[in-house]
Amino acid sequence: MNKQAFIECIAQLIPENSRVLDLGCGDGSLLSYLQTHRNCTGYGVEIDDKNVLACVQTDVQVVQLNLDEGLKMFADQSFDVVLQIDTLQHLRNAETMLLETIRVGRLGIVAFPNFGHWPNRLSILGGRMPVTKRLPYQWYDTPNIRVGTFADFGELANKNNIRILDSFGIKEAEQVRLWPNLMAPTAVFKIEKI
């Protein structure tokens, strides 16, 4: 998937002039785009030294922090939007960080590889873990320590009193609304605290 097209697709979900916290922001590309095109302000949170440097070089404010340690440094509702784009599946404390997302932000946007996408299901039926464009790693070297589907996330949200305001899939930077669990390699959820 084209990175820039994916960024533009996600950016449409964030209201203009929002104060944004981007968890696991990588090189800061999404936050930089939001600052330039949606007049947003905020911070990225990243642990990798190389990515922190990339953020600094592109004028993205970044905090170097291990997300497995939580977000204690941020007050309740201190951001309009908290992003977890391709972050949740890497965290040991995924449920805790989901709760932190809606504690720190009025709105959360979560996106992760959808393990329910049909090529993944086919691979499992064939007895192998999937290796796709969206999940390009072998089972033994993947950075993804969690795998989930639309239904899995829905149950987790329900268990934790999280309201799902919208959900859809993304395939080739286009929204997928018809059978997204089956047809889209990326799951996207817009959430808030009940």
Q: Which domains are present in the chain? A: 3-115+146-193 (3.40.50.150)
pLDDT tens per residue across span 98-149: 999 999 999 999 999 999 999 999 999 999 998 888 888 888 888 888 889 9
pLDDT above 80: residue 1: no
Q: State mean pLDDT over 37-63.
A: 96
pLDDT tens per residue across span 67-95: 988 899 999 999 999 999 999 999 999 99
Q: State mean pLDDT over 32-47.
A: 97
pLDDT of residue 144: 85
Cross-strand pairs, 170: 175, 186
Q: Are 31 and 44 in contact (CB under 8 A)?
A: yes
